[in-house]
Structures are given as structure tokens and as C-alpha cells.
A and B are shown apart, each in its own frame.
Chain A
Amino acid sequence: MNPDKDRFLVSRRTILKAAGAIGAGMPFADSPTGQSSHAATAEAVEERIPTFCAMCGPGLGCGIYACVRNGRFLRVEGMKESPLNGGRICAKAHAAPQWVYSPQRLKRPLKRTGAKGEGKFAPISWNEALDLIAAKLKEQKQKYGPESLAILSPARRSYSEYLYRFLIAHGSPNYGHSGICAMQKAFAFTYTLGSAPMPDVSRSKLILIWGKQPIYSGSTRGNLKQILDAKERGAKIISIKPTLEPDVALSDLWIPIRPGTDAALALAMLHVIINEKLYDSQFVTQWTFGFEKLADHVQKYTPEWAQPVTGLPAAQIRDLARTYATTKPACIDHGNGLEHVPSSNYAVRSIAILMAITGNLDRPGGDIFPSGGGMPFPKSVHLKERYTQEWVDKLVGPEFPKPFQPSTEGTSAAYYRIFNSVLTGEPYRIRTVIAPGTQPTVSTRGVKNVIEALKKLDFYVVVDVMQTAEMNYADVVVPVATMYETDHPFEFGGNWIMARRKVIEPLGDYKSDYEFWIDLGVKMGYGKDFWNGSLAECMNEQLKPLNLTMDELRARPTGITFPSKSMEYEKYSRVFASPSTRFTKAPYLPQGKVAIYNTTFEENGFEPLPIWVEPPESPTGTPDLMRKYPLTFSDFHTSKAYNAGWLRNVPLLREILPFPTLQIHPDTADERGIHEGDWVTVESPHGSMKIRAQVNPGIRPDTVMALHGWWQGCEELGLPGFPLLEGGANTNTMYSVDERKAFDPLVTAMSSQTLVQVRKA
């Protein structure tokens, strides 16, 4: 088919309508479908190409129109037809052209010529790069077994399934998942409730935003709009987190909890709700298991006990528990903040129990189990059907204990434990790590150890769009196309599916992430599992359940939106009987009821009831450390300008947040003679950072926080980058990586809390 046919042309000279003819409140004719009748000259024509935004993740991006003239990507406009964003897009989306044309783009495949870390490379061809990687993997497979390969997971993208497919074809279970994102909650929720519930914000009277930044994450028609609309219709919003961010500013009440103490707060809330009999006794009787044991168990978790731990007044904890239990319906909008603490599984289980015993589970306006959309699911490329017990037994450092593998996503090794195996050789050494779209020195804790492991690792492959923080340790660097330079894959979410469209021709010797795995699969001799190198076949096979080919899907410029299914509630008997992803397919809930008392965990040597565990360093856990390090430190995951460890090199975004900052209360700053903008040294028992003070009246005075992910400079603005280790801006250097204290025993969740001292640099 003619690729130009599905591009929409709007001549910039065309004046569609007298602007004055349209009234306020009425949307303007922003639709691109008014195809130009002018056969305008090339330089006057601006193409508006419908595709997805690629500036955040996980999940699919918002719908956009990429504006292109003379083959140059100029700017971005929101796609009104997209149900995800209805034409609205964020700052990151608008910055895409600067990202694509960044001077830090990797231009050609590279082979290391100097020592590891030295940064000396020679350019090679795409084919040579794949030959080098394939030769090394074949050699190591024979010498050390296929499990000597680990692939690090990026924030989930649609290519994540291809990483799994490659590992399975190769014979390794070692998919390196972060241990701090989404799966931690998913695990604890499914083994307590049978499924992970989502807040039904649009029907709720009370919304508890808990450990979440709902407005800078995800699509604009999702959480953000729901919360703003809920506020406007008079729903009450309570935010539970350590700083007053703009979403908290919209709230009716801010509960300024000390970082990492969510489990303590939730346990104390259970204490109040149970002792004051504020629970839904009918639901408890019919649909929960072990309530009586919990009632005894939480007696020690009084609000007075929780006060010094959480830093919240006992009276406030009581009020919060009563308000949540007596306002119907109420939902808890839970975030990744709950997944960075050694008590993570206990926090999430306690919150799950709160939802259940207050009668808010799977009822309108409560926390609901998604019923699924009306769209048939495209076929997965994962190859999950090939998992065996032997597979699980080979995991190098399971993210979830082996009896619970494979979990929802597949088998997974904790990202950090992969590097640890390189250092310790326990249980065996990983020999090759491939890092596609992920940066281990900025994405996981224990940066010193990660760097040592990168030095020691036999073979390290970076697959990325941009120069990465630890690229100098790579043996081979494979530059890939941005999602604006490829015409695949399709992406789907909810009821919407659309083909990606190429916005511009690739700016270098690039192929896509998808092509990388397919091509490497073929080189390895796994061609049968990789469509013998045919991307078209790969796409079409996945689309079969929808009775579509990629070409047919592409003929629909803004994709297909399927009618949504009507929501069903109170699906208890079905959801509570859900089979788990383990080999036995044993249900998540052996009693077919909410597992308040968890016999599955008990049988495997884990706590049957949620308990409180202190972070590795905290005011109540390690009071002796307070003399030297009197402030609690933690970090933010999400910001208005950046994702994780990337995008600092993009001028339009760097202008919004030009420097890494320490959020510090005015009183805490005053005591130290620190003023707004001063460079300050932040020192923990494990590391130090040098960043700028941002005096913030909306933070607990006993707590300081920073945004994680800083290392990049911004060449265009003349702004510097930062060292990965001591004296840099990398929050991951600050935390304990002691397995016994810093990681959740069940879900790995790595601590992002410590104690620090702050002084003027």
C-alpha cells in the first residue's frame, strides 16, 4: 500500500475558517481530516502523521499527530480521536522532536576497543554487531549453559515480551525485573484478593491517594482527569505521602506520612476499624478467611504505637481510619511508593484487607477488579507455554520466591541480584547482560556494586536510543530507532488498538528494538521462533485474534476503538477462584476467600499475617544513628519533566527542572544556614550526593527528598551531568543493599529510605 495515502496533509497556507466564527467552549476544528485541496509546494506542506507518543512508559503512549515538514519532525499535537488522551498531551510529549534530534543519540553500532569503562569504541555495522553478540552467546551457552544470559527489563514496553521470547528460545529464565515497580503490588494483591484492584475514582465519594503521584503518571484521560473531575463533583480527596505535590494541593486533607511507613499506618487503621467495629460484617463473614486471627494480631498496632513510627498524630490516624471506613463508597488509589520498602508486601496486604473489610471491594466507587475490555486480546509472543519447573529452578536470583514463579509477568530474577551473582558467583555467575532501554547504574540500588559487576562481567550489551550512563562498560552498543522512526508495532490498551507510523526516516544505522530481537534470534539459529526474520509475519500472527493484518490495521489512521463492555461488580466467586500463574495453577486464594490469614505464605515459610518491619535505617528502627544522621531521606519516582533516568538532556524539559534538588522544609534549611538554590551535601551511612536546596514548605520538617534518575547533562543548555557515585546526584547511592534488612523477603521491594545529614556544600 502507498505509505503516503494514510498521511494527512494540511497546508500551512490554508486558512480553514475565520477564527472569529467559533465560540468559546466549542472545540475548534482541530481534526486533521480536512485534507488540503491545495497541491502545495513541498516546503509549504506540513504532514500530520497519526501515531503514538513514545516519551513515557510503561504501557502504550497517548495518541498524537506528529507534524513533519521536508522530512523533519517539527512538533506534536494531541490526537482527539485517542480515548487515552482525547487530544491532550503533557510537556514530555511536546519535547519529542528535541529528544529525537538530540546530539546524544547513538549513531552507529559500536564495539569496545579500550578497557571497560574507558569509553573507546570503534564503529561497526548492524550486522557485525549482531554477529559479535551471537558468537558470544553461542560460546557461553556451550560453556556455562544458557542461563548465563540475563536480560534487564526496561520500564515495560510492548517489546518486553520479545525479551522473554528470546530468553525462552535461548534457554534462560533470567529476565531481570527491577524489584521496585508494579509487580510488587500485583503479587501482594493477587495473593490476598485474587486480582489486583483498581480504584473506581469516577464513582467514589472518598479517594485516598496513597504513595502515588497520580497526575504526572499515565495518560491524561486516565487518573488525572478522573481525579480533577471527582474533585469538581465534590468527592473528598485525602493524600497520604511525605510531600505536598500539586495533586496533594488539590486534596481536602494531606496526611504527611514519614517515608516507608505505610504498613504501620495501614496496620493501625485496621486496629481502629476492627476495634470500633466499623467493618462490613456481612462481607467479612461471607468472603474473608482469618479475620479473627487478624483481630487479635492487630491489637499491638495501636494508633499510639504508630505515631512515632509514621510521624502522624494518633488522633489523625484514628480520624483517617474512621473516615475511610464510614464514607461509602471509598477507594484507595495506590502507587509505586508502596513498593520501595522492606515492608512492602505487608503494606499492600494491609491495604488490600482495608479495602475488603470496609466493603469497598469490587463495588461501584470502591476498588474494583477490571472486567476486561470489549477488544479481543492480540496473541502474546511470550512463549509462556514452555516454562517448566527446571526453568524456575535455574533462576539466578528470583524476584519472587521460587514456589511463586512464574508470577504474573513470567519468570523473573531481581535486577540487582543479577549483578550480585557476577560479584559473588552465587548461585552461579551471569556471563552476559543485555540492557535494552535501561540503565543499571541509575535504575537500581547499590551503584558501587553494579559498577564493580559491570567491570567483572564477561560481556555487556547496551541496546538504546541514547548514550547511557554505563555505556562505557559495554562490549557492544546497538543503537535503535526511536518509536518515531519505525512503522511498527501496533500498540493496544483498553479498547483501543492502533499501528505505529513512521514519522521520519531513521537518522542513523538503526533498526527497531523489535527488529533487534528478531534479527538476533535468527542469527542464533532460533529462526523458527522468530518468524524466520519476517517482521510482517510477526505482527500478523499477533493480530490474528482480531482478524486483522498489520496493513489492514494501518489503513485505520487513528486505529480502532472497540465498544467497551459494561462493568460488572461483586465478581467475588469468580475472582476469588482465579488460578495462579504457578505450574500447579493452584488458586491464589486456597479458601476461595480474601486471604486475610495467608496459608499459602505460611506453608512456604512467610508471615501469614501482615506485620511491621522497619526500613534499614529510620528514626524508630535505628535511633542511635539519629545523632549523626537526624533526617529521613527518600526519593521521588515521577516528575512533571522526566521519566526515571532519561530525558534530562532535552532542553524543553531541562528548563522546567534544570538542577537536581533536595526538597527541604524552611525550618530545617534555616537551622543549617541553607538558602534556596544553595548546593548542599546530603550524606547517608551508604553514600553522599551534592545537589541544590529547594526550600519547600510542603514537606515534613524531619524529612528531605530528592528526585531519582539524575546523571545526564544537557549540551544545548550548557548544563552539566553528574557523577554516578559519591558527590553526584544519584539517589541510588544513598541506600542500604543488605539483603536481610533492605529487601522485602517476599517481593524483593528494595528500600528507598535512609537517614541523612544535610549541610551547605
Chain B
Amino acid sequence: MSRQYGIYIRTDRCIQCHACEVACKSWNGIEPGIRWRRVADEWSGKFPEVANRTVSYSCMHCAKPACVGACPEKAISKRSEDGIVVVDVRKCKGCRTCAAACPFHIPEYGRTGTMQKCNLCLERLQQGRQPACVATCPGEALTFGFMDELAELSAAKSGEKLEAATDPSLYISGRLNGQAFLDLLNHSRQLKDASSL
């Protein structure tokens, strides 16, 4: 495989404005209740020494994606040219095996029942534009690019690559390190389950 696309998030510049979420929904025509990108936050400490940390995340287009192997219909694949993990909705039967396999709880299922998730705005990339979330981010917290380039940018800000068994394509810097991000994801998942909308 050639180079791998990924995202670098500078959590110090995320202001929980949800512009990324809404840009994603608008540009990809996503139905209500479904999100391909999410903004999550986490509290720590006690008043008045209380802190809040935040992150925006979506599918991390893992180098070793668990969903691809798990899918009984072979509906999920990883593009050899850029590492983007894509779903073929014509093959997907909506069995949700991928949801159980994904350690980050990314797959979503809307009215059609088939799996949907971030494809890094493939269509925009083909037009020479950045993913909608990255292009819009008012705080310039999100950067899109090849992993080797993101590594350099992240190193300059004492960031790190997210370490997990599936080798996700994400760099992170700022108030959240990789482990804190994974903890936050798990917590966020619980909130997502409890969400009434």
C-alpha cells in the first residue's frame, strides 16, 4: 500500500463548536440522529479546580481495521491507494458485526439499516478539497494529510500517534493524550447509548 491518509487533532484548539459535525452532516447528507463525526468532552476535578477537555473524532481509517475482516459480506474495504476505509452499501446487509468489531464504536445505522461512517469526504478529495470537517474547523484544530506529514506536525506540538491494536490513523496533541482520548471515547459511547435523540 502507498501512503495512508489520516487526521491530526490539536485538542487545545477544539472549542466544542460542533462545526465539524454539522459540516459533515450537511456535506454528506446525513439524516437526523446519525453522526459520522462527534464532539465529545470530559470533566475532571472538583469546583472550582475543575477542568474540561474535548475532542472531535470520526472513523480513524485504521491501518489494520477490525471492521474489514469482521464483515461477513465483505462490504467494507480499505483502499490501497490512500488507506481510506469504505463501505459498499450494496453489499452491506446491516448485520452490525462491524459495530461489535470496531474498538471505537464508529459504525452507525440509519433508516436504510446499512452501515455508514466517515469516508474522509472522498468526493471532495477527488475535487481537490479537504474533508468538510477539516475545511470548516473555526479553531483550526483538525488537519488532514498523509500520516508521515501529520507525524511531523504533531511532533512539533509534542503530540503522539494514537496507539491501539488496529493502528488507527490519528495523531493527537494538546490537553488529551492518546490514552485519555481512548478513555473519553468509551465514556462518550455510554453517553451515545443513553442519548434520547
Contacts and interface: CB of A to CB of B under 8 A. Distances in A.
Q: Do A and B bind each other?
A: yes
B193 interface: no
Interface residues of A, number: 62
Contacts of A139: none
Interface in B26-51: 26-27, 32-33, 41, 43, 45-48, 50-51
Interface of B: 2-3, 8, 12-13, 15-19, 21-23, 25-27, 32-33, 41, 43, 45-48, 50-54, 81-82, 123, 125-130, 135-140, 143-146, 149-150, 153, 196-197
B26 A76 contact: yes
B127 to A, nearest CB: 6
B130 A249 contact: no
Given A20-B82, A249-B54, A655-B32, A12 B21 contact: no
A14 interface: yes
Nearest to A312: B48
Contact of A24 (B17, B137, B149): B149
Contacts of A15: 126-128
A23 B197 contact: no
Contacts of A75: 26-27
A292 interface: no
Given A25-B143, A25-B145, A658-B197, A652 B127 contact: no
Given A249-B52, A717-B197, A19 B82 contact: yes
A656 B21 contact: yes
Interface in A61-96: 75-78, 85, 87-91, 93-95
B141 to A, nearest CB: 9
B43 A698 contact: yes
B146 A247 contact: no
A249 B153 CA distance: 24
Nearest to B150: A24
Contacts of B139: 215, 224-225, 228
- By DSSP majority rule, is chain B's interface helix, strand, loop, or mixed? mixed
Contact of B54 (A19, A246, A716): A246
B55 to A, nearest CB: 12
Contacts of A249: 51-54
Contact of B130 (A30, A93, A220): A30
Contact of B19 (A94, A225, A231): A94
A721 interface: no
B128 A652 contact: no
A244 interface: yes
Interface string A253-265: 0101000000000
B128 A30 contact: yes
Contacts of B18: 91, 640-641, 656
Contact of A19 (B33, B52, B128, B135): B128
11 contacts: A15-B128, A20-B2, A76-B26, A91-B23, A93-B19, A246-B15, A246-B54, A254-B48, A640-B17, A699-B47, A717-B197
A87 B22 CA distance: 16
B149 A25 contact: yes
B195 to A, nearest CB: 9
Contacts of A232: 12-13
Contact of A640 (B16, B46, B125, B143): B16
Contacts of A372: none
A16 B129 CA distance: 9
Interface string A652-685: 1101101000000100000000000100000000
Interface string A695-736: 001111100000000000000110000000000000000000
A16 B22 contact: no
Contact of B13 (A10, A89, A228): A228
A228 B123 CA distance: 31
Contact of A91 (B21, B50, B123): B21
A91 B22 contact: yes
Nearest to A11: B127
B102 to A, nearest CB: 22
A250 interface: yes
B135 A653 contact: no
Nearest to A697: B43
A247 B15 contact: yes
B47 A653 contact: no
Given A17-B128, A24-B146, 12 more contacts: A19-B128, A20-B81, A24-B8, A25-B145, A93-B19, A94-B26, A228-B15, A249-B51, A249-B53, A254-B48, A640-B16, A655-B33
